[in-house]
Amino acid sequence: MIQFHAGAAALLAFLILGCLLRAYLGPTAADRVVAVNVIGTKAVILLCLVSAAFEEGFFLDVALVYSLISFLATVCLARLVLQKEQGREAR
């Protein structure tokens, strides 16, 4: 079972790297916001996977707090992008 968890964690880490690339290269700000949100979601899944692998419940608590912070950060970034786009239209 540990091999499954290790393989899944490696796959998630690889996918997070792909999302980091999209966040860096994204042609629009919306692409970057979505990529950062996906990175946060994959990090929460990775924490849940670590919790299952080590049979420790506190990783789930960390995942819950991280998911709330990730959601708030995504909302703030989306508002920031919206305000910048509205400012460009006003000019």
Instruction: For residue range 39-69, list pLDDT tens digits in order.
Output: 999 999 999 999 999 999 999 999 999 999 9
Q: Which has more confidence, 86 or 24?
A: 24
**Domains plus CATH for the chain?**
2-90 (1.10.287)
Helix, strand, coil distribution of the chain in percent, nearest 5: 90, 0, 10
Cβ-proximal residues to 24 (8 Å cutoff; 6+ apart), any chain: none
Whether 30 has a pLDDT exceeding 90, the answer reads: no
At 91, the pLDDT band (50, 70, 90 cuts) reads: low
Work out the mean pLDDT of the chain and round it to a whole number.
91
Q: For residue 1, what pLDDT is reported?
A: 76
Whether 25 has a pLDDT exceeding 90, the answer reads: yes
Compute the residue count for the chain.
Answer: 91
Tell me the residue type at 76: C
CA 3 centroid distance within chain: 24
